Chains A and B, each alone.
Chain A
Amino acid sequence: GQNIDQPTEMTATEGAIVQINCTYQTSGFNGLFWYQQHAGEAPTFLSYNVLDGLEEKGRFSSFLSRSKGYSYLLLKELQMKDSASYLCAVRDPGNTPLVFGKGTRLSVIA
């Protein structure tokens, strides 16, 4: 099974860069996924990594190291609208469900 760990809360300044870490322990591995959830709304898919390395998507990038059981989400040029919870999720190989961490609540301040 999975054991996913993320910081509970983070605060960053508008225009800055923030890195949200996620560590996981799983018996196998089938990908690491990031979701964004604004307060009062449903989560939305952001990105995923299957292989080691950095995946860039505009202001957002996600990194994965499978050997270390570690991933991070990098948000650049922070905007107030980036204030949200960021959820890390993993799925073991085979017919298993996607399991989420408890999420990191990011507050962007002026």
Chain B
Amino acid sequence: KAGVTQTPRYLIKTRGQQVTLSCSPISGHRSVSWYQQTPGQGLQFLFEYFSETQRNKGNFPGRFSGRQFSNSRSEMNVSTLELGDSALYLCASSPESLREKLFFGSGTQLSVL
């Protein structure tokens, strides 16, 4: 079974630009979560989607948005990028039998210059 796939792996943007990150979950997983990871703050929860519906949202500004498609693939968008958005963005999928058993992708390393 293929794991969680995130694209792109690395991204360099400048302040004010926008970015879209993509995540393909493990086949059969309908739950997708997004986290931001930085050295100082650790893993911070962004969103959780299930069957195209946002189930939970973390404490991030409205510039951060996401969606999930009917095939469970998910995208995350950040608009008007700021320097502080530089981070590793991790996507994870999980089975409904144990929502907390997250299978993470390798992440997208975003650098904002």
Contact = CB atoms under 8 A, between A and B. Distances in A.
Contact of A89 (B48, B55, B100, B107): B100
Nearest to B109: A40
A42 B105 CA distance: 7
Contacts of B35: 100
B9 to A, nearest CB: 12
Contacts, number: 50
A96 B102 CA distance: 14
B16 interface: no
A18 B107 CA distance: 29
Interface string A64-79: 0000000000000000
Nearest to B106: A42
A97 B55 CA distance: 9
B55 A95 contact: yes
B100 A98 contact: yes
Given A91-B100, A96-B56, A97-B56, A43 B105 contact: no
Given A87-B43, A102-B42, A103-B43, 18 more contacts: A30-B100, A35-B102, A42-B90, A42-B104, A42-B105, A43-B90, A43-B102, A43-B104, A45-B103, A48-B98, A48-B100, A48-B101, A87-B42, A91-B100, A95-B55, A98-B100, A101-B42, A102-B41
A35 B98 CA distance: 14
Given A42-B90, A43-B43, A103-B42, A95 B102 contact: no
A44 interface: yes
A10 to B, nearest CB: 16
25 contacts: A31-B100, A33-B100, A35-B102, A42-B90, A42-B106, A43-B43, A43-B102, A43-B104, A44-B104, A45-B101, A87-B43, A91-B99, A91-B100, A97-B33, A97-B48, A97-B58, A98-B33, A98-B45, A98-B100, A100-B35, A100-B43, A101-B42, A102-B42, A103-B42, A103-B43
